[in-house]
Amino acid sequence: MTDSTYEIKLDVFEGPLDLLLYLIRKNEVDIYDIPIALITRQYMEYIDAMKSLNLDLAGEYLVLAATLTHIKSRMLLPPSEEEEEEEEDPRQELVRQLLEYEAFKEAALGLDRMKILGRDVFSRDHIFDDSGEEGETLREIGIFELVEAFRRVTLGADQHDIMEIDVEKISLSERINDIVDELEKRGELTFSDLLGETGSRKRLIYTFLAILELMKLRIIRAYQAVPYGVIRIRLAEE
């Protein structure tokens, strides 16, 4: 009976919980007493349909499929008589998760109903303070450009320290703090400011790792005017 309904609904689900919730609501069954065999079967049908359509099936769908099958098998087991205390319904954790998800799904719809700036209502535009130098527009760059730049720096670095025994103790979080402090003081640093005169190879690598970590955390951003140009690093604004 579900055959005709797959195609239209497939891309509408926000994830496995959403699909499961949809099936429960569609079958109008009690969420506190899910007919697990029925719902599992229908869930599997959807999964198969997605597979046959070669849709990129997120791994999470399969995880929930396994969970459902597991619950189903546990429901088939006769209740153990040895245990004194009442056994927990195998569906309980899943039900809790579904209800929680549903509450947030509702909250999301609530947010969507608000008067959203830039969609329903408008205010004076933010005037972006573009502090880039005149004449050159800075483009934000990502990890790849940084790695490329790092490769160029290390190529230039002398190789004599291959056998060097590191006595210097460097920690990543220390380098991270140093870089942030320096940026707060100076506003902007170039990539070569940071890596240029850093001495040991180890220090070089830690500095680079610190930059990557800070970029990942979106604490700093890197900009470049032209490819292979000077890389400028700034603190990301709030």
Partner 1 sequence: MDNLKAVIEALVFVSDTPVTLAVMEKILEGVSRKEISSTLDELMGEYERRPGGVFLKEIAGGYQFRTGEALAPWILKLKGQKPMDLTPAAMETLAVVAYRQPVMKSEIEKVRGVDVSGILRGLMEKKLVRIMGRKNVPGRPIIYGTTGRFLEVFGLKALSDLPTLREFKELEE
Contact residues toward partner 1 (CB under 8 A) are 14-18, 32, 58, 60, 64, 86, 88-89, 92, 95-97, 99-112, 114-127, 217-219, 238
**Residue 21 or 233 with smaller CB distance to partner 1:** 21
CB 224 within 8 A of CB 138: yes
From the CB of 184, what's the least distance to partner 1, in Å? 17
Q: Give the distance, in angstroms, between the CA of residue 79 and the centroid of all CA atoms in the same chain.
A: 41
User: How many angstroms separate the Cα of 9 from the Cα of each of 3, 42, 43?
Assistant: 11, 13, 13
From the CB of 224, what's the least distance to partner 1, in Å? 18
201-216 vs 172-186: helix axis angle to the nearest 10? 70
d(CA 221, CA 223): 7
Could you give the residue ranges of the DSSP H alpha helices within the chain? Answer: 6-9, 16-26, 36-52, 59-76, 92-112, 143-156, 172-186, 191-195, 201-216
**Residue 18 or 45 with smaller CB distance to partner 1:** 18
From the CB of 33, what's the least distance to partner 1, in Å? 11
Q: Which has the closest alpha carbon to 145: 218, 235, 228?
A: 228
**Within a 10 A sphere around the Cβ of 57, how many other Cβ atoms?**
14
From the CB of 95, what's the least distance to partner 1, in Å? 6
**Residue 112 or 197 with smaller CB distance to partner 1:** 112
**Residue 104 or 228 with smaller CB distance to partner 1:** 104
**Residue 111 or 165 with smaller CB distance to partner 1:** 111
From the CB of 181, what's the least distance to partner 1, in Å? 17
